[in-house]
Amino acid sequence: MDNYSFKESFREAVQKADAISFDVTHFDPAHPKPGVTNYEFDYIRNDPSLLKKTTFKIDGQEVKWNGEKFVKP
């Protein structure tokens, strides 16, 4: 799958999803690793409706994005 197709599939999937869940245990926007990519994170972070229905987890515990970093609720 090429990059465009991947991004288009991702956009369609998150718009249709009732809920989104990402494990961000090892996610660092400056140094992306397998799992959540910078593109996916930025896409969700920049759309308030998507951010609202997204659950982020670090080591199995839910965290929230406060606009700067992940924090425990």
Q: How confident is the model at residue 1 (pLDDT cuts 50, 70, 90)?
A: low
Euclidean distance between the first and the last CA atom of the chain, given in angstroms as a whole number? 37
State pLDDT tens for residues 11-55.
999 999 999 998 888 887 777 666 667 888 889 999 999 999 999
Q: How far apart are CA 47 and CA 45, in angstroms?
A: 6
Q: Where are the domains of the chain?
A: 3-71
The pair of three-digit structure tokens given for residue 43, joined into one six-digit string: 């896409």
| Cα 9–Cα 44–Cα 46 angle in degrees, nearest 5 | 125
- Residue 35 has a pLDDT of 61
DSSP-derived letter for residue 67 is S
Torsion of CA 19, 27, 35, 14, to 10 degrees: 30
- Residue 12 has a pLDDT of 96
pTM of the predicted model as reported, rounded to 2 decimal places? 0.79
